[in-house]
Structure 1
Amino acid sequence: MAPKQTDPQFKLRLPPDLKQALEEAAMVNNRSVSAEIIARLQDSLIAVGKEFWLDRRIAAIDRQLEEQRAQINDLLNRPRD
């Protein structure tokens, strides 16, 4: 998505090699350097969001697994009649 002229502007200092890499990537992707930076930032923020939710889901599954292990241990340690 190309930035609109009314979007806030942000000055940014980049090392020359990073600026060149962004310019090349923008050319390959047929977009402006600004649009390239926006696309990459959006992709990275989406990835971080997915990672956050995956981490939460894994933690929930770990808790369920521990609960099930405890239940199994209770059953195995129960006195037999």
Structure 2
Amino acid sequence: MFTFETADQKEVRRFRIAQFNGRTATVKSGGATITGHVRSVMEKEASIPPRWTITIVPTPPKAQAPLRPASRARPFAEDYF
């Protein structure tokens, strides 16, 4: 799990919507990009300005699907002309 804090209300709203809809969210932290499902968005009530702690469960990257082979009819098209 990846946990971070933010004070950006727009970012928090985006993560709450992703959590509610079950979609993945992407966050850039330093040089790393983490994509996963939002597990929790918790507000720290004692902080000024308001801050939120967001927890993301990373999903493994999808394996590349093999490319389809090229059409075999095209190389022989020259024989018909």
Report the structure, 1 or 2, having the larger strand content.
Answer: 2
Is TM more than 0.5 here? no
Report the structure, 1 or 2, having the larger helix content.
Answer: 1
TM-score by length of 1: 0.31
TM-score by length of 2: 0.31
Q: Highest CA radius of gyration, 1 or 2?
A: 1
